[in-house]
């Protein structure tokens, strides 16, 4: 090569310019993607499919310290790195950086379960936009959220990061979240695809599920989210389905996801160790996260040996480049590291206000008047309020407003003796979430001393306070499932003691008792809910949690949250309790152990209200239930059909004395047919605006013929039978207010390709 070209070559390398030896090196975004691909070496292609890995770069090398992962940059082709960061309750990055006095806290939004409890897709979209703004302004490209696995069992350690026992509600809320986050020009990663419904032995456990239960329950939410929000990425889960790793399952990641559903984005693995990289690439897993350097070598060697076809590699590389072009980092967005925290805090508070659920309110105990005298505030959780759960779903927040602060901010006076009693203890003990031998995490809710002095101590409080509020807290997180025992699903003896003593002493002097549940998942309530006068389900409501609970207690906000899962009378009533590692004591994991190496979803479709309602089993609190400070009337329901779509209108009127919002739920009962079906299935829902007393709103709910279909395994098809269908519209699955009927005159059949 003559001197001129040598100089030119050198200059092009040094300047990263795109001219070499007279030919222009294609640049991503400037030249057609196929040209860029043809200019890539096999090594470069392999590198693009493998994350930068945590091992290879320390946090200081991360463009955004504390992010979960990155993709590689290939400057000569104009391909930048991208940054992927958790999680479902807000952006998770390191709050501090070496040699940097600035802090990088993020807003701790409410947990996913609370957001779905709002049943308000517009509000969830607004929360998503706020989260997306933090992702953008902190220089990340993808938020590894929302988590959206079905609440198959109350004890899954990550239910707080997920939405519901119902796939329609899950899908609609997830789509709202994705649309919100992506409205800011950053991506999402709906996860964990799919059927990752337990944490125990999650990296090897096989979820053994029928095709029908898979399609109708465990995949349906993802299908809705893919079709209604187009997530930039999907995260393939750790587990297997029917013995095959999801990350290596061509029928799941290509036949179903791309061919049946038309998904256009990329699939990245959950943060997996080295597995069968070749199968992952072939299956349609575009990005191996966090990425191990061996994987690059494996891909190169496999292509050279013919074990892996270059067309699979090029297919995945193309999708990666199409993804990278969308990212703020590719667009060289000049992020500020200064998101709008003030407005995000108010969105957090507003969304928590709407997701908190009023479970009980005898004799209108709530709202409390601020002049109602001192509040005797019991429970460590009242002073150390849980904003969220643990693991990658946790956010490094600048603060958490606890319930004591929230009540004071709202103008209530607290009984100072109790205040100092708990605050001294918390300071001294520095109460943290206790990992009980790594089996589960729960909050040490009461101090040992409290157990000794409860009787007379509480009688005095009943004399010098006007009302008692007790907080019960529970936490859990990634990697561990919860337990059906005391301190987790059940109250501890201490908790029951204090509840019984407080209610006895306060009721003896005609004073009220309010329980606040600061929990991430379902607990047992039937055996004690008769004791207090009111019960507020606060979930883990984010960093403004104490203010939100106080908003409800004071009546600044009329509660409008509704349950997105069933609270059973006892754990053993739950069908999946027969196939779930609820009393796993941490003995050695092995793949041939029931519920550990494999979990048989023998219950099929009988999850949550689909079971309790169909077989008329009693529950403590039903799906879709939540009280208000006002009452609502439903009237004039009517249905219209246009083509394959149906529209149902119903008039909701506020018949009470205070303004409030109502969630109307629409359930469908199908005619008897070849397949056994749940008695009722949620097919649509709508939340009213804030209705003033006497005010009405005509709400509209829609569904289509395919939404009514059941999956017939023998035909590998969705089938909507002919016949008479019943539409039940109500305030919960057990509180139907309007019923109408319609006929389907011709059966609908839609065959699908994939078999998982």
Q: Is 681 among the residues that bind ligand GLC (CB under 6 A)?
A: no
Dihedral over Cα of 185, 191, 193, 194: its sign: negative
3-class DSSP string for 344-374 = HHHHHHHHHHHHCEEEEEHHHCCCCCCCCCE
As a whole number of angstroms, the distance between CA 217 and CA 220 comes to: 6
Shortest distance (Å) from residue 50 CB to ligand GLC? 15
Of the residues 270, 312, 481, 712, only one is catalytic, namely: 270
Q: Which is nearer to ligand GLC, 271 or 623 (CB)?
A: 271
- Residue 143 beta carbon to ligand GLC: minimum distance, rounded to whole angstroms: 9
112 binds ligand GLC (CB under 6 A): no
- Out of 119, 138, 245, 271, name the contact with ligand GLC by CB under 6 A: 271
3-state secondary structure of 653: strand
CB of 392 to ligand GLC, least distance (A): 4
Within the chain, how many helices (H) and strands (E) appear?
Answer: 20, 34
Per the CB < 8 A criterion, the answer to whether 162 and 170 are in contact is yes
**Chosen residue from 40, 68, 72, 257 binding ligand GLC by CB under 6 A:** 68
Cβ–Cβ < 8 Å for 252, 194: yes
Instruction: Give the count of alpha carbons within 13 A of 333, CB side only.
Output: 21
Structure tokens at 675: 């397949």
**Distance linking the first and last C-alpha atoms of the chain:** 55
Q: Encoding tokens for residue 739?
A: 């019923």
- Give the shortest CB-68-to-ligand GLC separation in angstroms: 4
Site string for ligand GLC, 162-191 (x = CB under 6 A): -----------------------------x
Site for ligand GLC in 457-496 (CB under 6 A): 478
The tokens describing 740, both together, are 């109408």
- Residues whose CB is less than 8 angstroms from the CB of residue 306 and which lie 6 or more positions away in sequence, other chains included: none
The residue among 145 and 705 lying less far from ligand GLC, judged by its C-beta, is 145
Site for ligand GLC (CB under 6 A): how many residues? 8
Binding of residue 149 to ligand GLC (CB under 6 A): no
The count of other CB atoms within 10 Å of the CB of residue 710 is 21
270 noted as active-site residue: yes
Could you tell me the two tokens for 365? 């105990």
Burial of 642 (0-12, 13-18, 19+ CB in 10 A): exposed
113 lies in the site for ligand GLC, by CB under 6 A: no
d(CA 123, CA 684): 17
User: What is the rounded CA–CA span in Å between residue 188 and residue 234?
Assistant: 8
The closest alpha carbon to 214, from 609, 754, 666, 582, belongs to 754
Rule CB under 6 A: say whether 144 interacts with ligand GLC: yes
CA-nearest of 147, 171, 169 to 160 is 147
- Report, in angstroms and rounded to the nearest whole number, the Rg of the chain calculated over CA atoms: 27
Strand locations in 209-279, DSSP E? Answer: 233-236, 240-241, 244-245, 266-269
Please say which residue, 191 or 683, places its beta carbon nearer to ligand GLC: 191
Taking the C-alpha atoms of residue 299 and residue 297, their distance in angstroms, rounded to an integer, is 5
User: Between 50 and 627, whose beta carbon lies closer to ligand GLC?
Assistant: 50
Q: Which is nearer to ligand GLC, 69 or 367 (CB)?
A: 69
Pairing of strands 710-712, 717-720: antiparallel
Closest CA to 86 of 56, 58, 60, 64: 64
Please pick, from the candidates 392, 613, 732, 738, the single residue that binds ligand GLC as defined by CB under 6 A: 392
144/267 with CB nearer ligand GLC: 144
Q: C-beta of 65: minimal distance to ligand GLC in Å?
A: 14
Q: Closest approach of Cβ 734 to ligand GLC, in Å?
A: 34
- Least distance to ligand GLC, CB of residue 93, Å: 11
CA 415, 421, 426, 427 dihedral sign is positive
Interaction between residue 359 and ligand GLC (CB under 6 A): no
CB crowding 432-454: b at 16 or more within 10 Å, else e: ebeeeeebbbbbbbbbeebeeeb
Q: Which is nearer to ligand GLC, 144 or 219 (CB)?
A: 144
Among 134, 166, 249, 270, binds ligand GLC (CB under 6 A): 270
Q: Compare residues 361 and 392 and give the one whose CB is closer to ligand GLC.
A: 392
Point out the residues that are catalytic.
270
Residues making contact with ligand GLC (CB under 6 A):
68, 86, 144, 191, 270-271, 392, 478
């Amino acid at each position: 090569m003559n001197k001129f070209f040598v100089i030119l070559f050198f200059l092009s390398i040094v300047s990263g310019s795109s001219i070499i030896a007279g030919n222009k090196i294609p640049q991503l975004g400037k030249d057609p993607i196929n040209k860029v691909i043809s200019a890539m070496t096999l090594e470069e292609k392999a590198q693009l499919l493998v994350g930068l890995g945590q091992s290879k770069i320390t946090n200081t090398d991360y463009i955004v310290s504390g992010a979960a992962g990155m993709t590689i940059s290939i400057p000569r082709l104009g391909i930048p790195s991208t940054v992927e960061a958790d999680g479902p309750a807000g952006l998770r990055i390191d709050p501090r950086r070496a040699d940097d006095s600035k802090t990088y806290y993020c807003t701790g939004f409410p947990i996913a379960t609370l957001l779905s409890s709002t049943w308000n897709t517009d509000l969830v979209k607004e929360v998503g936009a706020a989260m997306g703004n933090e992702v953008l302004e902190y220089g990340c490209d993808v938020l590894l959220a929302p988590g959206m696995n079905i609440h198959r069992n109350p004890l899954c350690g990550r239910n707080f990061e997920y939405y519901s026992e119902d796939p329609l509600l899950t899908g609609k809320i997830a789509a709202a979240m994705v649309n919100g986050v992506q409205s800011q020009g950053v991506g999402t990663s709906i996860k964990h695809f799919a059927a990752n419904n337990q944490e125990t032995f999650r990296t090897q456990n096989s979820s053994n599920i029928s095709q029908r239960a898979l399609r109708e329950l465990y995949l349906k939410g993802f299908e809705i989210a893919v079709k209604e929000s187009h997530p930039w990425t999907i995260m393939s889960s750790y587990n297997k389905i029917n013995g095959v790793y999801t990350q290596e399952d061509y029928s799941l990641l290509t036949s179903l996801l791309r061919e049946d559903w038309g998904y256009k984005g990329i699939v990245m693995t959950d943060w997996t160790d080295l597995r069968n990289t070749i199968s992952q690439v072939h299956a349609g897993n575009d990005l191996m996260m966090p990425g191990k350097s061996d994987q690059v070598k494996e891909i190169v060697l496999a292509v050279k040996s013919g074990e892996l076809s270059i067309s699979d590699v090029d297919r995945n590389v193309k999708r990666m480049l199409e993804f990278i072009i969308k990212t703020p980092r590719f667009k060289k967005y000049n992020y500020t590291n200064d998101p709008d925290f003030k407005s995000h805090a108010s969105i957090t508070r507003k969304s928590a206000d709407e997701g908190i659920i009023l479970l009980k309110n005898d004799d209108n105990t709530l709202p409390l008047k601020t002049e109602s005298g001192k509040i005797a505030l019991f429970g460590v959780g009242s002073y150390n309020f849980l904003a969220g759960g643990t693991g990658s779903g946790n956010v490094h927040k600048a603060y958490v407003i606890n319930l004591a602060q929230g009540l004071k901010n709202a103008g209530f006076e607290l009984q100072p003796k109790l205040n100092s009693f708990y605050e001294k203890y918390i300071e001294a003990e520095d109460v943290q979430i206790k990992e009980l031998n790594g089996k589960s995490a729960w909050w040490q809710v009461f101090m040992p001393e409290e157990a000794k002095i409860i009787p007379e101590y509480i009688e005095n409080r009943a004399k010098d306070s006007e009302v008692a509020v007790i907080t019960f807290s529970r936490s859990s997180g990634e990697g561990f499932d919860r337990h059906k025992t005391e301190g987790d699903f059940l109250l501890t003896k201490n908790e029951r003691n204090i509840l019984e003593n407080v209610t006895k002493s306060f009721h003896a002097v005609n004073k009220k008792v309010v329980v606040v549940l600061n929990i991430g998942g379902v607990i047992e309530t039937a055996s004690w809910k008769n004791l207090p006068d009111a019960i507020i389900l606060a979930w883990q409501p984010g960093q403004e949690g104490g203010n939100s609970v106080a908003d409800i207690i004071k009546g600044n906000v009329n509660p409008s949250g509704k349950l997105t899962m069933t609270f059973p009378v006892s754990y053993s009533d739950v069908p999946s309790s027969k196939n779930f590692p609820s009393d796993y004591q941490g003995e050695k994991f092995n793949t041939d152990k029931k519920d550990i190496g494999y979990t048989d979803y023998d219950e099929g479709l009988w999850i949550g209200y689909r079971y309790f309602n169909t077989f008329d089993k009693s529950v403590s609190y039903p799906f879709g239930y939540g009280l208000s400070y006002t009452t609502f009337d439903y009237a004039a329901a009517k249905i219209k059909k246009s083509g394959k779509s149906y529209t149902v209108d119903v008039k909701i009127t506020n018949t009470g004395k205070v303004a409030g919002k109502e969630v109307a739920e629409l359930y469908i009962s199908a005619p008897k047919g070849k397949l056994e079906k749940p008695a009722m299935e949620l097919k649509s829902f709508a939340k009213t605006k804030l209705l003033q007393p006497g005010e009405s709103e005509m709400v509209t709910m829609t569904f289509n013929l395919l939404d009514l279909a059941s999956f017939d395994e023998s035909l590998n098809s969705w089938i909507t039978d002919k016949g008479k269908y019943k539409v039940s519209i109500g305030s919960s699955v057990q509180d139907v207010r309007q019923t109408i009927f319609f006929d389907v005159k011709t059966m609908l059949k839609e065959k699908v390709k994939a078999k998982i």
